[in-house]
Amino acid sequence: MNEFRLPFIIEYPDKDDFIIAKCYETKQECYKLTIPTGKQLEKAIHIKFRASDTPLSLSLGIELQEGSSAVIIEDWSGDIKVPEINFVNHITCQANSNLTYVVLNGNSHQTKMTEKRVSNIASDAKCHIFTYHFGNKKLTSRLIQKTSGKGAEINTDIIAKVTDDRDLSFDCTHEFAEKQGSGEIVMKGIAQGSAMLNFDGLVNIKKTGGGSAGYLKQETLNLSPDTTVRAVPALKIDTNDVKAGHSAAIRNLNEEDLYYFGTRGIEKETAKKLLITGFLEKELKKIKKHKTAYEEVRKLI
Amino acid sequence: MSTPQSKSKVQKKPPTNIFAGLNRDTFDYFDPSEYMKKFKKGISSQLIAAISKDKDEPEWMLHQRFKAYEYFTRIPMPDFGPGLEALDFDEICFFAKAADKKGGYENWEQVPAYIKNTFDRLGIPEAEKKVLAGVGAQYESEVVYHSLEKELATQGVLFLDMDVAVHRHPELVQKYFMKCVPANDHKFAALHGAVWSGGTFLYVPKGVKIEKPLQAYFRMNAMNMGQFEHTLIIIEEGAEAHYIEGCSAPKYGSNALHAGCVEIFVGKSAKFRYSSVENWSKDTYNLNTKRAIVEESATMEWVGGNMGSGVTMLYPCSILKGRNARADHLGIAFANSGQIQDTGAKIFHLGENTSSRLTMKSISKGGGRSIYRGDLRIAKSAKNAMSQVECDALILDPVSISDTYPNIKVDNNSATISHEARVGRLNEEDIFYLTSRGIPQAQAEAMIVNGFINPIVRELPLEYAVEMNRLIELEMENSIG
């Protein structure tokens, strides 16, 4: 194993618990990480990307074989300076597997990044993708999670903070093609400066996806008069035995809340920070049990 | 819901419920259309010149028609929504007259019997007597009847056939006509600008408050007909009015086209409500454009029910231009077998402290597809704007479809926007509750659907709420063709 130089470092105590292989079927530099059948990993696999002076074009496949479980952290934070990144991420969760996948994007504010993430989740398997975006000059992110077996559960949390004149654009789809799927998309953003933040979300329940329940939530805090914020929370429902819904909210910090803090001697800037942390707290709590990921996210915030 | 109970319920309704007895025959009945032999299908510059000549229009209107036709030939079909490939412009008759009375008759007794009978069946003369302040009735391309209460006329209210308004009030018409919806807005606005005919002109002077609603009813009778009525409404400062539009057409199994245009100017502190019950036949492409410009402290309210048409693309639009302007959009769409109801709303907040509220309910049944398409924009200038959007969709069977595509764009940080949507089927516990009390399942389902749409229907005057409920009942029975 590892007869090739990886463009990332993998931190994990026992590297026999998984298989990392180079793939040659695509033009793009490509690696695949496989968690073998029945393997239940207790600690998180931490994949840390290296800095590069040249543009990076990379594909990373993740496969959880039947009955396995893992927490994987894809870490672009730290001193990552890459001028341009084109990243593709394919996730396959076989039956009864359980994946928690955390993306920490804190790379340079000069980096332009395009990412495409696609997951296929089989019967009774679970996949929860958390993506935290605090980096990039410009980001175009496309994420599609699909249920490909009965009772699959797919969840996606996208958290983004965009400042200055940066431009982050997210397009996330949950596609329920098999019966009794479930899951939620949460897209939360904070926009400042003259930044642009786009949230496109879609819950698509196919004719074959009867008994599925899908929800989409978008919330944005718009903190500056020069930002542009766009939200498209879409639903495409092709059958009636479903529970589906969405909500979207765009607002500034509540003046009454700021006043409340002020009357208790807390300065406005501190109060703002507290309110922003509160805005993200519910989503942060979801990964609290995954200590490494939680601590990394707190550092980014 | 074709149960004896429901029929007896309808029969027992008091006579004031003018529209309670509507049935399939009311809409599907068609009169002989011998007059159609005089009119050709298809669109050309010759046709446009002929329409303008027939109406003896001023030069500026003819020029505007030709400009619009030029746009129509250049602008592509919409790149979103339902496919319009089957709509063949060469098979549509763009202009036809069933009677030749400029501005329409002033007395129903003068209206040719076969036309009057149609409006009698639809309950329009009776509604005029009981609940309306004025009525316009259009049959094919031209208005056949128009009336307004004398008291309102003496207060300076103008309620006219649009063709007549072009002659009698040219300055007013020229100032406002297609200024809210320019002809180059999209393909069907351009088509409308080229071949428009008939429609309503309503002018309510400063401070005049009209208590009873005014109504216009648009009826297509002949096969392959196109109707392009223009509705221009000017509500001056502090004035108030409510206008209702209804429409229907018989089913022939061959395409018809409705591409009307509604332009509304709501002046400072004025209040205007536009209600519509659209029930075109399922042969009809309903590609209508409705838009209002709302000035300072004014209120615009849209209440709409889309029950008919094979394909509907309709998104009433409010441009909240002045400070404190407000818009309320309430809508129902029912997509039954073979129907695509692509409806929604556009709201543009430009002024400070502007606010909007949108409530949309849709029902899909028998393979029908209902689509909510929204466009909500908050401009940089719209400080402290607020908007609340709620969409609920019911899907009544496994073969029907519901899509929701809201687009929200915010360019300042003082806006507060909320949007919520829910999609689901009828609650089985509710059905069980009703059926366990002896109500047949179909009737129970219809009752729940009526309850679902009630928040919108209750905003209509009683008689029109009855009509809307009756139309929903007919859809639940599959009785509208």
E strand segments, B336-473: 340-349, 355-364, 369-378, 386-395, 401-410, 416-424
Looking at beta carbons, which residues of chain A come within 8 Å of B399? Answer: 207, 239
From the list A210, A225, A232, which residue is nearest B407 (CB)? A232
Question: Is the Cβ of A236 closer than 8 Å to some Cβ of chain B?
Answer: yes
- Ranked by mean pLDDT, the top range of A52-56, A88-92, B99-103 is A88-92
Residue-wise over B223-236: b if at least 16 C-beta within 10 A, else e? bbbbbbbbbbbbbb
C-beta atoms of B403 and A234 within 8 A: yes
Per-residue pLDDT tens over the stretch B349-370: 999 999 999 999 999 999 999 9
Residue B469's pLDDT band (boundaries 50, 70, 90)?
Answer: confident
**How many other β-carbons are positioned within 10 Å of the β-carbon of residue B169?**
16
Answer whether residue B5 shows pLDDT above 50: no
* Preferred mutation among B404, B425, B445 to probe A, highest tally of A CBs within 10 A: B404
Half-sphere exposure of B167 (CA within 13 A, CB side): 12
Per-residue pLDDT tens over the stretch A60-102: 999 999 999 999 999 988 666 788 999 999 999 999 999 999 9
From the list B393, B407, B411, which residue is nearest A228 (CB)? B411
Which positions in chain B have a beta carbon within 8 angstroms of at least one beta carbon in chain A? 364, 380, 393, 395-425
From the list A239, A243, A251, which residue is nearest B417 (CB)? A251
Per-residue pLDDT tens over the stretch B284-301: 999 999 999 999 999 999
C-beta atoms of B413 and A249 within 8 A: no
Cα B459 from Cα B476, distance rounded (Å) = 22
Cα B316 from Cα B346, distance rounded (Å) = 6
What pLDDT was estimated at residue A183? 97
| CA-based nearest residue in chain A for residue B420 | A247
Both tokens of B442, joined, read 């179909």
C-beta atoms of A250 and B397 within 8 A: no
Coil vs helix vs strand at B70: helix
3-state percent breakdown (helix, strand, coil) of chain B, nearest 5: 30, 35, 40
Per-residue pLDDT tens over the stretch B190-207: 999 999 999 999 999 999
From the list A223, A227, A244, which residue is nearest B423 (CB)? A244
For range B237-245, the mean pLDDT: 96
Cα A60 from Cα B472, distance rounded (Å) = 53
Provide the residue type at A69 as one letter. Answer: S
Per-residue pLDDT tens over the stretch A17-32: 999 999 887 778 999 9
Q: Are B225 and B254 in contact (CB under 8 A)?
A: no
What pLDDT was estimated at residue A283? 84
CA distance B341 to chain A (A): 14
Cα A246 from Cα A153, distance rounded (Å) = 17
CA distance A202 to chain B (A): 9
Looking at beta carbons, which residues of chain A come within 8 Å of B398? Answer: 207, 210, 239-241
Compute the count of residue pairs across chains A and B with CB atoms less than 8 Å apart: 114
Q: Are B409 and A220 in contact (CB under 8 A)?
A: no
Say what angle helices B462-476 and B124-131 make with each other, to 10 degrees. 150
C-beta atoms of B395 and A236 within 8 A: no
| CA-based nearest residue in chain B for residue A193 | B413
Both tokens of B391, joined, read 């969409």
Looking at beta carbons, which residues of chain A come within 8 Å of B410? Answer: 220, 222, 228-231, 250
Q: Distance from CA of residue B308 to its chain's centroid? A: 11
Q: Distance from CA of residue B137 to its chain's centroid? A: 14
| CA-based nearest residue in chain A for residue B368 | A238
From the list B399, B407, B421, which residue is nearest A245 (CB)? B421
Looking at beta carbons, which residues of chain A come within 8 Å of B400? Answer: 240
Q: Are A23 and A15 in contact (CB under 8 A)?
A: no
Answer whether residue A203 shows pLDDT above 50: yes
Looking at beta carbons, which residues of chain A come within 8 Å of B408? Answer: 230-232, 248, 250
C-beta atoms of A247 and B397 within 8 A: no
Looking at beta carbons, which residues of chain A come within 8 Å of B405? Answer: 232, 234
**B123 burial via Cβ count (<10 Å: 0-12, 13-18, 19+):** buried
Answer whether residue B480 shows pLDDT above 60: no
Residues whose CB is less than 8 angstroms from the CB of residue B399 and which lie 6 or more positions away in sequence, other chains included: A207, A239, B366, B367
Q: Are A30 and A59 in contact (CB under 8 A)?
A: yes
Looking at beta carbons, which residues of chain B come within 8 Å of A241? Answer: 398, 425
Question: Is the Cβ of A162 closer than 8 Å to some Cβ of chain B?
Answer: no
What pLDDT was estimated at residue B232? 98
Looking at beta carbons, which residues of chain B come within 8 Å of A232? Answer: 405-408
Lowest-confidence region among A185-194, B33-42, B154-163, B238-247: B33-42
Cα B217 from Cα B63, distance rounded (Å) = 29
Q: Which residues pair with A72 in a beta bridge?
A: A45, A101
Question: Is the Cβ of A237 closer than 8 Å to some Cβ of chain B?
Answer: yes
Coil vs helix vs strand at B331: strand
Question: Is the Cβ of A233 closer than 8 Å to some Cβ of chain B?
Answer: yes
Q: Are B140 and B221 in contact (CB under 8 A)?
A: yes
The closest of B146, B114, B121 to B132, measured between CA atoms, is: B146
β-strands B158-161, B199-204: how paired? antiparallel
C-beta atoms of A232 and B424 within 8 A: no
**B86 burial via Cβ count (<10 Å: 0-12, 13-18, 19+):** exposed
Q: Are B304 and B468 in contact (CB under 8 A)?
A: no
C-beta atoms of B425 and A241 within 8 A: yes
C-beta atoms of B408 and A225 within 8 A: no
Question: Is the Cβ of A230 closer than 8 Å to some Cβ of chain B?
Answer: yes
From the list A230, A235, A241, which residue is nearest B403 (CB)? A235
Provide the residue type at A44 as one letter. Answer: A
Per-residue pLDDT tens over the stretch A253-266: 888 888 888 899 99
Answer whether residue B25 shows pLDDT above 80: no
H-helix or E-strand spanning residue A177: none
Looking at beta carbons, which residues of chain A come within 8 Å of B421? Answer: 233, 235, 245-247
How big is chain B by its Cα radius of gyration, in Å?
22
**B395 burial via Cβ count (<10 Å: 0-12, 13-18, 19+):** buried
Provide the residue type at B413 as one letter. Answer: N
From the list B393, B408, B413, which residue is nearest A224 (CB)? B413
Answer whether residue B149 shows pLDDT above 50: yes
C-beta atoms of B410 and A229 within 8 A: yes
What pLDDT was estimated at residue A129? 97
Cα B396 from Cα B394, distance rounded (Å) = 6
Coil vs helix vs strand at B361: strand
Both tokens of B101, joined, read 């009375």
CA distance B412 to chain A (A): 5
| CA-based nearest residue in chain B for residue A201 | B405
Torsion sign (Cα): A132, A134, A136, A142: positive
What pLDDT was estimated at residue B13? 41
What pLDDT was estimated at residue B62? 97
| CA-based nearest residue in chain A for residue B397 | A240
Q: Are B122 and B180 in contact (CB under 8 A)?
A: no
Coil vs helix vs strand at B106: coil
Looking at beta carbons, which residues of chain A come within 8 Å of B406? Answer: 231-234, 248
From the list A227, A233, A241, which residue is nearest B406 (CB)? A233
C-beta atoms of A234 and B406 within 8 A: yes
Per-residue pLDDT tens over the stretch A127-157: 999 999 988 899 999 999 999 999 999 999 9
How far apart, in Å, do the first and last CA atoms of chain A sit?
Answer: 36
Question: Is the Cβ of A190 closer than 8 Å to some Cβ of chain B?
Answer: no
Both tokens of A157, joined, read 């949390």
From the list A223, A239, A250, which residue is nearest B415 (CB)? A250
Q: Distance from CA of residue B437 to its chain's centroid? A: 38
